[in-house]
Structure 1
Amino acid sequence: MSKKDKTEEIEELENELHPDETQVEGNDQSVDAEDTEETSSLSEKEQMEAELEKEKDKFLRLFAEFENFKRRTSKERIDLFKTAGQEVIVSLLPVLDDFERALNELGKSSEKELFKGVELIYNKFKDTLKAKGLAEVQAKEGDAFDAEIHDAITQIPAPNKKLKGKIIDVVEKGYSLGDKIIRHPKVVVGN
């Protein structure tokens, strides 16, 4: 018999004589293996939870960014609709001015039927523009001059001290479309 065979035979005999010790050692090894697996599975579980939290955070940020984008584009769209016809309305303002001049001149004449007809067309035209969002920027004699609202075309000496730095005359009416002034009122300011 060789040494290898003898060693194996001795181990078999020891196992037969002391079966409890070998099982305990084997159980220790299996318990150690279970502890190692449990520890690695916990760390895997913790890793998965950490990844899940990271993905949740990423999702929430993306969702919030998308909501901001929707809100911003919605606001831009509303602003666009409010001022969509701005160019057309601005080009019609001189026609509105001409109607007002015509009404002033027709009021001086004796033809009342012609005046009523032109006034009817003027009112309908003005109401249509008002329905599209056009509003007159109020400026009248005695109002304080505001450079952001009014357009001063000239300054003249004030007839009295109360009108110094105030509007003396409105040469051309101003109009706004929505919240935006599309034509500033042209005024004469007292100096």
Structure 2
Amino acid sequence: MSKKDKKETATSEQIDEQVMEKDELTAEEQLSESLQQEKDKFLRLFAEFENYKRRTAKERIDLFKTANEEVMLAMLPVLDDFERALNHIEEDKEAEELRKGVLLIYQKLMTTLEQKGLKAIKISKGDDFNADAHEAITQIPAPSDDLKGKIIDVVEKGYQLGEKIIRFPKVVIGQ
């Protein structure tokens, strides 16, 4: 082998080594890039799963808070009847013992329902009307100018279960 042949062989071997090094670098870069992509996928999937867990936990808590909603809605007419009976019995002075008994039962029922999360919405005559929290059933001329746009009468009480309004108070507003 001549010197020239040796030189060409050496040069071709060096070129082959350089090409192999470049291939190794690109292979390493490809592996590194692939690893980074997989890490990103994992982090996104993990974050998505954490969000799912939080969302389902919140939904479960909300469900427990309002699970009694149907029962409470069914009980509201009974409460209304109790209140009407108490108002009627108050007028009759001869039925004092009956009034005491009905009042006792009403208070016991209210206490039980309040323990389960039911709350009466507190409104009174003269409060400002709020369309998000009240249901206006009619408008009448206001007896005075200061009652315009305000609640004149409460026809039916409103109730909320936890933070959710299950029955809006029915009111008459002045115009």
Query: How high is the TM-score relative to the length of structure 1?
Result: 0.80
Between the two proteins, what is the percent identity of the paired residues? 57
C-alpha distance in 2 between matches for 1:162 and 1:47: 77
Does structure 1 residue 81 correspond to structure 2 residue 64? Answer: yes
**Structure 1 counterpart of 2:114, one-letter code:** K
1:154 aligned to 2:138?
A: yes
Q: Which amino acid aligns with 1:117?
A: G
Alignment gaps of 5+ in structure 1: 1-10
Residues matched between the structures, number:
174
Over residues 76-120 of structure 1, what are the superposed CA-to-partner deviations in whole Å (9 max), with x where a residue is unaligned? 222222211211111110001111122222333334333222222
Cα separation, 1, equivalents of 2:32 and 2:56: 36
Consecutive unaligned residues in structure 2, runs of 5 or more: none
Cα distance, 1:172 vs. partner? 0.8
1:51-97: per-residue Cα shift (whole Å, max 9, x none)? 00011111111111112222222222222222112111111100011
RMSD of aligned residue pairs (Cα, Å): 2.2
Which residue of structure 1 lines up, in the alignment, with residue 124 of structure 2?
140
Instruction: After TM superposition, give the deviation of residue 47 of structure 1 in Å.
Output: 0.6
SS in 2 for 1:60: helix
The structure with the largest alpha-carbon Rg is: 1
Does residue 1:61 correspond to 2:44, yes or no?
A: yes
Per-residue CA deviations over 1:131-185 (Å, capped at 9, x if unaligned) read 2221111221001111221111222221111111111111110111122211111
In the superposition, the TM-score normalised over structure 2's length comes to 0.87
Higher relative contact order (CA 8 A, sep 6+): 2
Q: Write the distance in 2 (CA, Å) between the matches of 1:40 and 1:165.
A: 81
